């Protein structure tokens, strides 16, 4: 007889951990990190400060933030072995796959590879945050045959990413837009990739394994991969001159889901989408290329009305990233560049009060005891 209750599909509504990191009210559209509303953080904070908040549980003082930013800047370096691994990747390799494999390899050169204490994991969180941004930017330059660009200690994390990616110091507007996007993507409670990270960490594996698991989970189009899928649709509409509403109606007629819409937890507007919509609009008009925002808006109005679905974090991040000059296949890696802060915060929280995560499955296979039929009697 079974000893477990049948699960809801996809563990919907199941509370699987206690956590003091991220608060979500899906009915009211509220998201807060350590109790602080995401709108306040988006308006006033920086990605560096948000990392501190997630990892230390409170906002830093001015001196603490300065020290922390200096440490992050000091860790903005990659071992020659990692650069060589990036150079060896075939030029057609997807940046998300390169990121997953390279992050796994970072452990070879991590000075605390075999240490799983809180202190070591905090150091690893800082290192991984610095390194992930470099890996994404450097792989893009390597695949395009461009020279690597040294980080600049005077720039923020967002500014450094843009500098290392494009080779040019970013405008203040671009740096701030990316900074806000990084804040908005930093954490989101037990989303699929964070859950994957916590499951791996709970076996007392290590931080690099947990983050590698998370990157694999983030890649899928039902999770972080959705932002790339959104832009593919915008591009297809632009290239064919199709009417955006007719285009998505066609997708729905084929029973396809529209990427960038719907959410397991939010039943109202995703608060991150509010900022990204505004950012997409502003960047579109300041760059003189507002067509991506306009196509997006038409799709959103139709899907809101017709399907009663709201845009999620991925919908307007697509046009925002494109307008910032970021290639389509870097959108999901860029999500990881931010979410590393949340993944590592959750790994540390998991280890602070760890127990192996090992649920049960409701067995629905052939009845026990099925016979083992010898080979010569099988049909
Ligand atoms: C986010 C997502 C995976 C949540 O999935 P979920 O909680 O399992 O919800 P379901 O897929 O069961 O969807 C519930 C209903 O809404 C519909 N729906 C959900 N998202 C939809 C979308 N983006 N486009 C069209 N219909 C959608 C489903 O078809 C389903 O309808 P039905 O009950 O008539 O079959 C889902 O909304 C989705 O696939 N969205 C597109 C991918 C995306 O943007 N992912 C990023 C999330 S931040």
* Cα end-to-end distance, the chain, whole Å: 31
Q: What is the pLDDT of residue 5?
A: 65
What residues have CB less than 8 Å from 292, skipping those under 6 apart?
Answer: 234, 238, 280, 284, 318, 319, 322, 323
**Alpha carbon of residue 252 to chain centroid:** 26
CA of 93 to the centre of ligand 1 (A): 29
Section 168-183 average pLDDT:
96
pLDDT confidence tier of residue 4, bands split at 50, 70 and 90: low
Q: What is the pLDDT of residue 273?
A: 97
In DSSP terms, 37 is beta-bridged to 32
CA 262 to ligand 1: nearest atom: 37
The tokens for 115 are 């240490």
Is the shortest distance between the CB of 261 and ligand 1 below 6 Å? Answer: yes
Residue showing tokens 């989303």: 191
CB atoms within 10 A of CB 169: 15
Section 12-35 average pLDDT:
97
Q: What is the pLDDT of residue 7?
A: 72
Q: What is the pLDDT of residue 3?
A: 54
Is the shortest distance between the CB of 309 and ligand 1 below 6 Å? Answer: yes
Query: Hey, whose CA ends up nearest to atom 29 of ligand 1?
Result: 257
- 277 within 8 A of 312, measured Cβ to Cβ: no
Query: Hey, whose CA ends up nearest to atom 46 of ligand 1?
Result: 223
- 47 within 8 A of 226, measured Cβ to Cβ: no
What is the pTM for the complete model shown?
A: 0.95
> How much is the mean pLDDT over the chain?
96
Q: What is the pLDDT of residue 1?
A: 45
Is the shortest distance between the CB of 357 and ligand 1 below 6 Å? Answer: no
Residue with the bigger pLDDT between 125 and 91: it is 125
Query: Hey, whose CA ends up nearest to atom 19 of ligand 1?
Result: 262
Among 262, 263, 314, 315, the mutation site with the greatest number of ligand 1 atoms within 8 A of its Cβ is 262
């Amino acid at each position: 007889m079974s000893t477990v209750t049948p699960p809801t599909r996809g563990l919907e509504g199941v509370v699987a951990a206690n956590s003091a990191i991220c608060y979500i009210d899906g009915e009211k559209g509220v998201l807060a990190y350590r109790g602080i509303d995401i709108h306040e953080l988006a308006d006033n904070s920086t990605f560096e400060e948000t990392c501190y908040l997630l990892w230390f549980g409170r906002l830093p003082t001015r001196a603490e933030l300065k020290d922390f930013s200096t440490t992050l800047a000091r860790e903005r370096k990659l071992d020659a072995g990692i650069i060589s691994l990036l150079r060896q990747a075939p030029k057609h390799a997807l940046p998300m796959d390169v990121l997953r494999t390279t992050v796994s390899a970072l452990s070879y050169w991590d000075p605390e590879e075999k240490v799983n204490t809180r202190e070591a994991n905090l150091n690893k969180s800082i290192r991984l945050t610095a390194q992930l941004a470099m890996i994404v930017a450097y792989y893009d330059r390597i695949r395009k045959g461009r020279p690597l660009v040294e980080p600049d200690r005077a720039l923020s994390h967002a500014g450094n990413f843009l500098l290392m990616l494009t080779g040019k110091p970013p405008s203040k507007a671009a740096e701030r837009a990316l900074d806000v996007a990084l804040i908005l993507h930093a954490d989101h409670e037990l989303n699929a990739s964070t859950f994957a990270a916590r499951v791996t960490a709970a076996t007392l594996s290590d931080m690099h394994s947990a983050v590698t698991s998370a990157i694999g989970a983030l890649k899928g189009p039902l999770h972080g991969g959705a932002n790339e899928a959104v832009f593919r649709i915008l591009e297809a509409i632009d290239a064919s001159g199709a009417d955006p509403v007719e285009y998505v109606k066609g997708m729905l007629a084929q029973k396809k889901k529209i990427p960038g819409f719907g959410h397991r937890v939010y039943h109202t507007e995703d608060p991150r989408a509010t900022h990204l919509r505004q950012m997409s609009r502003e960047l579109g008009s300041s760059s003189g290329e507002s067509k991506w925002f306009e196509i997006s808006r038409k799709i959103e109005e139709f899907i809101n009305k017709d399907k009663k679905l709201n845009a999620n974090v991925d919908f307007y991040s697509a046009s925002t990233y494109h307008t910032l000059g970021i290639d389509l296949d870097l959108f999901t890696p860029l999500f990881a560049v931010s979410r590393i802060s949340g993944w590592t915060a959750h790994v540390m929280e998991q280890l602070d009060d760890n127990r192996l995560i090992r649920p049960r499955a409701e067995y629905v296979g052939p009845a026990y005891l099925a016979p083992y039929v010898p080979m010569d009697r099988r049909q």
